Amino acid sequence: MAINVIIQNDFEKWLNAIGYAESTVYASVNYVRDFFTWLDKTPIKELNQINNQVIKTYYEYLQQRANKKQSGSLSNNYIVSNINALKRFCRYLQVTGKATIEIDLQLQAITTETKTVLTREEVKALYKACENDILGIRDRAILSVYYGCGLRRSEGIALNVSDILLREKRIYVRKGKNYRERYVPMTEAVKEDLENYIYVAREKILSFKNIKPEALFLSIRVQRMHGNSLIIRLQHLVNKARIEKDLPAGKAGIGLHTLRHSIATHLLQSGMTLEEVSQFLGHASLESTQIYTHLAYE
């Protein structure tokens, strides 16, 4: 039962309309396509034949399937992401009236081993690795947004200058997960870094072309920076600071989400309550924040 191309495209459009990150949309479509490839080997031929037992069987298949990219089995993180993509697909089918599929599956929690966290000393080393030129000033601002304010990758990319409320010492997150909006407080140090970038480095970048984009983080071409560009800058700082981590299997390296994991862990270590950290991160429930308590006391 190959996934209908029209349904696949509509699912992708629906995810984009809801406000999911570009990487989540891309992965979700691929996960669903893999699921339908697996379905081809079963007697199921219609959407309405898919039920919770079918999803459970697929979940068990993923737990036993070999990893195609490296030795061993699939990581728990990969399997959970796969099933979550199917939940999104089922929700899409329900909303659009194409089918009614309920997934009631208790997934094994993602272990703390899948979370990479930097120490406070390593974070300080990243800041010290920033130069005093326009790229270095922008690098500090990137660290301040993703570590100092704990934003998700997509949230930082979507920021406009108007979202940086320097006087109120807050950042307005317009495009949070599932379009949840929130205000994130900033420290005096974060404020200084963002102020320096906006009024010095960013103004210099704007002078390269006669255009005035709204985006906070601008490339030298005076365009909104994308995720890969931000990761390249972070990796530049990681290499310069000579930070080496023993990464879990399947992990590509230190990324923007590593900074978010790190600030969450450091805040808990500093005595902030789980509820306060959950609100700071923009989590919908405390369950999403709970994992950081293990990291904080590790």
2 pLDDT more than 60:
no
Q: 254 in helix, strand or coil?
A: coil
Closest CA to 145 of 158, 135, 131, 132: 158
146 labelled catalytic: no
260 labelled catalytic: yes
Residue 198 and residue 280 share a domain: yes
Q: Give the residue, 235 or 87, on which the prediction is more confident.
A: 235
257 labelled catalytic: yes
Residue 185 and residue 162 share a domain: yes
58-93 residue pLDDT tens: 888 888 877 665 556 677 777 888 888 888 888 888
210 by Cβ neighbours in 10 Å (0-12 / 13-18 / 19+) ranks as exposed
Q: Give the residue, 177 or 207, on which the prediction is more confident.
A: 207
Residue 206 and residue 168 share a domain: yes
46, 25 Cβ separation under 8 angstroms: no
Looking at 72, 92, 110, the residue that finishes a domain is 110
Residue 131 lies in a domain: yes
What CATH number should be reported for the domain holding residue 132?
A: 1.10.443.10
Residue 158 and residue 104 share a domain: no
The DSSP line for 43-62 is S--SGGG--HHHHHHHHHHH
Write down the catalytic residue from 175, 177, 202, 261. Answer: 177
Q: 106 in helix, strand or coil?
A: coil
Write down the catalytic residue from 20, 146, 147, 292. Answer: 292
106 pLDDT more than 70:
no
Residue 276 and residue 146 share a domain: yes
Residue 115 lies in a domain: no
What CATH number should be reported for the domain holding residue 81?
A: 1.10.150.130
251-273 residue pLDDT tens: 557 889 899 999 988 988 888 88
22-72 residue pLDDT tens: 777 888 888 888 888 888 888 887 777 788 788 888 888 888 877 665 556
Residue 242 and residue 130 share a domain: yes
**Domain with 27 in it:** 5-110
Write down the catalytic residue from 115, 260, 261, 266. Answer: 260
Residue 160 and residue 83 share a domain: no
The DSSP line for 63-92 is HHSBPSSSSSB--HHHHHHHHHHHHHHHHH
The length of the chain is 298
Q: What number is the average pLDDT over the span 180-198?
A: 94
283 labelled catalytic: yes
Q: For the whole model, what pTM was predicted?
A: 0.64
How would residue 290 be classed by pLDDT, with cut points 50, 70 and 90? low
Q: What is the count of structural domains for the chain?
A: 2
State the pLDDT at residue 143. 97
294 labelled catalytic: no
Write down the catalytic residue from 115, 138, 152, 153. Answer: 152
